[in-house]
Structure formats: structure tokens, C-alpha cells
Amino acid sequence: MANREALRELQTRLASRLQAARSEGLSVRWLAAQVGGTRYLFPLAQCGEIFPWTPVQPAAYTQAWFLGVANLRGGLCGVVDLVRFMAPDTPVLRSEAVLSECSLLSFNAGMELNCAMLVDQLSGLRGPDAFTASAPAPVGAPGYLGPIHTDAAGLSWQEINLLSLSQLPSFLSISA
């Protein structure tokens, strides 16, 4: 009996959160995060869940940017170090203490890609009203990089299209 009530309560909370997200959908568009010292905006519609850092089981014979697999909510999920993917020659050293402060951001389940990205720091939700200016991605930038938005403090935020990223052959080819 208690389990049914708890399930009903959970469903009610989820329904209210979904309704709130729908009503705020126009004002909130991105999840803001810092990865390797750079500020990024991930489209909310392309993001899945956010998980606290969990140990990753390394996989042999994979690219350096593919950290391995992690058990996220009972399912195996590949974990990608976005910094190493975007700039393979950049040395990235993270201690266990630093990793314990990181999060894993999964791709939306609708993209059918069991993948999560290592995120150094979450910075909250952002909407278009949080920015004072926007500029197109730099010439020659990869197709998954979108516009650069500048906030009121003068900080630049690079938009990343996770759908475009997830369809890149180089992103899908984890073998070394």
C-alpha cells in the first residue's frame, strides 16, 4: 500500500515538473556548463539526465577521449571527455578529487545513443534573455558548434548541437 502511494506521489511530482518545463520551455533553452575551462550551452531538448561522477571502467583499444563505460541508472553508458575529443592534443589531467566534483551529462534518450559527457561544472539553465549579444560560430569551426552568446558579465558561451555531434563518424568511431 505504501509503495502505491509513493508511486502515485512520484507520478504527480513528475507530471507537475513536466508541466512547469512546458510552460517555461520558451524562456529556458540551454543547460550551461563548463568543460575544460570553456563555457558551453547544451540545448535542453538534446540533453538527458545529469549524473554525479561515477567511476568509469576503461575500455581497451579506444580513442583517448573515450574514457570508458559507466553504470548509470542500471545501464551501461559510454563516457566521453569532450575536451579531449575537441582538442586531442590538449593534455588534460584530472585527479580523483577533481573528478569527484564533475558530472556526467547524458544525451537525450530519443537520440538512441548510450553516451554521456564529462562536465566539469554545471552553471544552471539559460534562456535567450540571459545574453546581450550573439555571433556565429567561427569560420572553419566544426558543424556541431553553434553561435557564441555573450552574457551581461561579458562572458562568452559556445553553443554545442549534441544531435550534430552524435552523428559525426569521428564521434561514433571510438576504436583506436
Mean pLDDT of the chain: 87
Q: Is the dihedral of CA 106, 166, 112, 115 positive or negative?
A: negative
Distances (CA, A) of 9 to 17, 18, 176: 12, 14, 47
On whether the CB atoms of residues 78 and 115 are closer than 8 A, the answer is: yes
- Which residues, including other chains, have CB under 8 Å from residue 140's CB and lie 6 or more apart? none
Mean pLDDT on 83-98: 83
Terminal Cα-to-Cα distance of the chain (whole angstroms): 53
pLDDT score, position 19: 55
Comparing CA positions, the residue from 169, 156, 140, 172 lying closest to residue 41 is 156
pLDDT score, position 16: 58
On whether the CB atoms of residues 114 and 66 are closer than 8 A, the answer is: no
Give the 3-state DSSP-derived string for 90-141, with helices as H, strands as E and coil as C: CCCCCCHHHHCCCEEEEECHHHCCCEEEEECEEEEEECHHHEEEEECCCCCC
pLDDT score, position 15: 47
Question: How does pLDDT run across 119-172, given as a tens digit for each residue?
Answer: 999 999 999 999 999 999 999 999 999 999 999 999 999 999 999 999 999 999
Distances (CA, A) of 44 to 5, 106, 112: 31, 11, 16
**Rg of the chain (C-alpha set):** 18
pLDDT score, position 146: 95
Mean pLDDT on 49-62: 94
Comparing CA positions, the residue from 49, 48, 43 lying closest to residue 146 is 43
